[in-house]
Amino acid sequence: MREETLAIIFGMAVVTFLPRFLPMAFLTRWVVPERVKMGLGYVPTAILSAIVFPILFFNDGGKVAIQPLYLLSAVSVFIFSWKVKRLWASVILGMLVYWGLGFLM
Partner 1 sequence: MTNNGQFREGVKDALPVVLGYLPVGMAFGLLARNAGMTPSEAGLMSFLVYAGASQFLAIEMIYKGMTWLPIVSATFFINLRHFLMSSNLSLYFKKTRLPVLGFLSAQLTDESFAVAISNLPKVKNSPPYVFGLQITSHLAWVIGSIGGALFGPFIKISEYGLPFALPSLFICLLVFQLKSVRHYGIMVVAGVSSLFFKWALQGNWYILLAALLAGGIGAVIEIINGKEKTGADRQEGDGKQGQSSKLKAQRKTLRKCLEFEAQRRISRSRIEL
> Contacts with partner 1 in 8-67 (CB under 8 A)?
8-28, 32, 34-35, 37-58, 62, 64
d(CA 37, CA 57): 32
How many helices (H) and strands (E) in the chain? 5, 0
Q: Which of 33, 66, 83, 104 binds partner 1 (CB under 8 A)?
A: 83
Percentage helix, strand, coil, to 5, in the chain? 80, 0, 20
Closer residue to partner 1 (CB): 53 or 68: 53
Q: Which of 33, 61, 68, 88 binds partner 1 (CB under 8 A)?
A: 88
Closest to partner 1 by CB, 11 or 68: 11
State the Cα–Cα distance between residues 5 and 2, nearest whole angstrom: 5
Q: How big is the site for partner 1, counted in residues (CB under 8 A)?
A: 75
Q: Which of residues 87 and 104 has its CB atom nearest to partner 1 in the complex?
A: 87
Residue 64: strand, helix, or coil: strand
**Shortest approach of partner 1 to residue 78 CB, angstroms?**
6
